[in-house]
Amino acid sequence: MSRIHNFSAGPAVLPLEALQEAQADLVDYKGSGMSIMEMSHRGKEYDAIHNEAIANVKELMGLSDDYAVLFIQGGASLQFAMLPMNFLGQGQTADYINAGSWGTAAIKQARMIGNVNIAAECHKDIPTRMPELKEMKWTPGAVYSHITTNETIAGTQLKEMPVTGSPLIADMSSDILSCPVDYSKFAMVYAGAQKNLGPSGLALVVIRKDFAAKGNIALPTMLKYQTFIDENSLYNTPPCFGIYMLCLTTRWMKKMTLQKLFKQNRDKAQLIYDAIDSTGFYRGTAKKEFRSDMNITFRLPTEELEEIFIKQASEVGMKQLKGHRMVGGIRASVYNAFPVAGVEALVSFMKDFEKRNG
Ligand SMILES: Cc1ncc(COP(=O)(O)O)c(C=O)c1O
């Protein structure tokens, strides 16, 4: 077996333990004589996986029974549309923060449905950043306020959650369960699974039931949160294999403990930021106080050097370090399952590269 150091922003590295367990059970799931992909989603084997996945998420997030844990297809992008379809009615306003490409994408969808107020924006700022809490201007009576806690492309992360006065909703696709958050402050959080939770195509949605109950009922069945709540995300055939991988990943997180993962994430990011800041060769692209612990973005003195850096890193087993096509540069994504050894390898490569090219 040969595994690379995979710095992909998503789909991203998954815990090796989870992959190996899935591999061992792939052809014959626990003596059932079939794989997870081949069995009924109404059978007892799948039922146990589905409900364990929900229980794991509830436990890890510290959620009370006021919340429902839902599995919805269509990734985080469908949530950009489903959210306003369910809650943003005619004559109402929803507040959005725009701090980057993902905030912009969520706003674009919401505007197709109803009235959006931009409570703060800094998506075009260089260095990239999140808005300060004092910049945010919330609308009295807004139906909800939407934030993106980690802008995956810009490499920025909100370090303190705002108090908005209306139900708070967060796209946490790229930092869910990676740092301490009081999830009880949110009416809804959602995340595409492909970074910290499992494979792509699946979105985890956690929603307060009393908030969901206020949703628009004049929607097709599959677009209503209430359907997923009433049917325990089993109204139709769910993405069973994705939910199975989320189950294994959350099981691994419980074993690791969140406390240990949070500290490890902080330490991993700090190692890379220290390497960036130690001389003038590398330049971090995000404002220091909003630097993301998940997606670390930086530049080299020239684009030519960046290309050589990516190529040479790849030759020694460090892949997917190219920044997003919209911004260029280097991006090292180091989610929960990214090993410390990979970060140490990158830091040592950065020092060596600088010696050879600085
Ligand atoms: C913060 C954030 N939101 C939304 C998305 C879109 O997710 P999906 O591709 O699952 O629709 C991404 C994808 O990278 C993301 O990073």
CA of 197 to the centre of ligand 1 (A): 13
List the Cα angle 199/202/205 in 5-degree steps: 130
CA of 285 to the centre of ligand 1 (A): 20
Q: Tell whether the model's pLDDT for residue 101 goes beyond 80.
A: yes
Query: Last residue of some domain: 256, 272, 296?
Result: 256
Percent of the chain scoring above 90 in pLDDT: 98
Residue of the CA atom closest to atom 16 of ligand 1: 152
DSSP labels for 194-235? TTTTSSTTEEEEEEEHHHHTTS-SSS-GGG-HHHHHHTTT-S
Q: Is 195 annotated in the active site? A: yes
**Dist CA 350 CA 309 (whole Å):** 8
Q: Which of 80, 174, 197, 246 to mutate to test the pocket of ligand 1 (most atoms within 8 A of CB)?
A: 174
171 ligand 1 Cβ < 6 A: yes
Residue 9 lies in a domain: no
**Dist CA 282 CA 297 (whole Å):** 10
pLDDT in tens, 150-198: 999 999 999 999 999 999 999 999 999 999 999 999 999 999 999 999 9
Query: Last residue of some domain: 224, 256, 288?
Result: 256
152 ligand 1 Cβ < 6 A: yes
Among 95, 171, 175, 293, the active-site one is 171
Measured CA distances, 205 to 71, 87, 105, 157, 333 (Å) = 6, 15, 18, 20, 23
173 with 273, same domain? no
272 with 249, same domain? no
Strand partners, 5: 318
Higher pLDDT, 326 or 352: 352
Among 58, 95, 102, 138, the active-site one is 102
**Dist CA 83 CA 81 (whole Å):** 6
pLDDT in tens, 37-49: 999 999 999 999 9
CA of 170 to the centre of ligand 1 (A): 12
Average pLDDT over residues 107-131: 97
Whether the CB-CB separation of 210 and 66 falls below 8 Å is answered with yes
Note if the pTM is more than 0.85: yes
Which tokens in the block code for residue 97? 């923060």
Split into its structural domains, the chain has a count of 2
**Dist CA 121 CA 118 (whole Å):** 7
Residue 8 lies in a domain: no
Query: Containing domain of residue 348, as a range?
Result: 258-357
Q: Is 138 annotated in the active site? A: no
Please tell me the predicted confidence (pLDDT) of residue 2: 87
Residue 187 lies in a domain: yes
Query: Last residue of some domain: 256, 291, 309?
Result: 256
Higher pLDDT, 205 or 358: 205
Strand partners, 206: 69, 189
235 with 350, same domain? no
Q: Tell whether the model's pLDDT for residue 327 goes beyond 90.
A: no
Q: Which of 265, 274, 267, 352 is nearest to 315 (CA)?
A: 352
Residue 11 lies in a domain: no
**Dist CA 199 CA 15 (whole Å):** 12
The HSE-up count of residue 125 (CA atoms within 13 Å, CB side) is: 19
Residue of the CA atom closest to atom 2 of ligand 1: 173
Q: To the nearest whole number, what is the mean pLDDT of the chain?
A: 97
Please tell me the predicted confidence (pLDDT) of residue 162: 98
193 with 103, same domain? yes
Q: What percent of the residues of the chain are helix, what percent strand, and what percent coil, each to the nearest 5? A: 40, 20, 40
198 ligand 1 Cβ < 6 A: no
In this prediction, residue 326 has a pLDDT band, given cuts at 50, 70 and 90, of confident
Which tokens in the block code for residue 51? 């409900």
In this prediction, residue 12 has a pLDDT band, given cuts at 50, 70 and 90, of very high
148 with 193, same domain? yes
CA of 216 to the centre of ligand 1 (A): 24
167 ligand 1 Cβ < 6 A: no
350 ligand 1 Cβ < 6 A: no
Average pLDDT over residues 304-320: 98
**Dist CA 289 CA 155 (whole Å):** 12
39 with 73, same domain? yes
Atom of ligand 1 nearest to the CA of 152: 16
Which tokens in the block code for residue 29? 């799931």
Which tokens in the block code for residue 19? 């992959």
Q: Which of 173, 195, 295 to mutate to test the pocket of ligand 1 (most atoms within 8 A of CB)?
A: 173
Q: Is 274 annotated in the active site? A: no
Please tell me the predicted confidence (pLDDT) of residue 307: 97
pLDDT in tens, 218-274: 999 999 999 999 999 999 999 999 999 999 999 999 999 999 999 999 999 999 999
Report how many helices (DSSP H) and strands (DSSP E) the chain contains, helices first.
10, 14
Range in 21-25, 187-191, 298-302, 323-327 with the lowest mean pLDDT: 323-327
CA of 153 to the centre of ligand 1 (A): 10
Q: Tell whether the model's pLDDT for residue 1 goes beyond 90.
A: no
Q: What is the CATH number of the domain that holds 308?
A: 3.90.1150.10
10 ligand 1 Cβ < 6 A: yes
306 with 226, same domain? no
Among 195, 224, 268, 322, the active-site one is 195
**Dist CA 294 CA 175 (whole Å):** 7
Which tokens in the block code for residue 330? 């280097």
